[in-house]
Amino acid sequence: MWSLTDFYAEWCGPCQAMKPALAKFETEYAGKVTVKRVDVDKEQSVAMQSNVMGIPTFILYQDAKEMDRRSGAMPYEVFKSWVDSIVK
């Protein structure tokens, strides 16, 4: 099973800019990739365990194993292309 974790903060402009893309992604990939959001201010230990150094950071997991990660805001098509290159 594939999952995507979005590490974000409420005060982070680029994180907020990715919200519509993530909503669209959740709809398009329903049943294929589950999405979890982690607020780094509220769950600092989770962010530290995942070695998140900047936000937004997106980590793709397959069966709880990290497969790839990307940081920073990006257009939806770039985000989707990244996921599609890994989730086959």
Q: What is the pTM of this model?
A: 0.95
Q: Helix or strand or coil: residue 17?
A: helix
Q: Helix or strand or coil: residue 2?
A: strand
pLDDT at 2: 97
User: How many angstroms separate the CA atoms of 71 and 9, rounded?
Assistant: 13
Q: What domains does the chain contain, in order, with CATH numbers?
A: 2-86 (3.40.30.10)
pLDDT in tens, 27-62: 999 999 999 999 999 999 999 999 999 999 999 999
pLDDT at 65: 97
> Looking at the annotation, which residues are catalytic?
12, 15
pLDDT at 88: 81
Mean pLDDT of the chain: 96
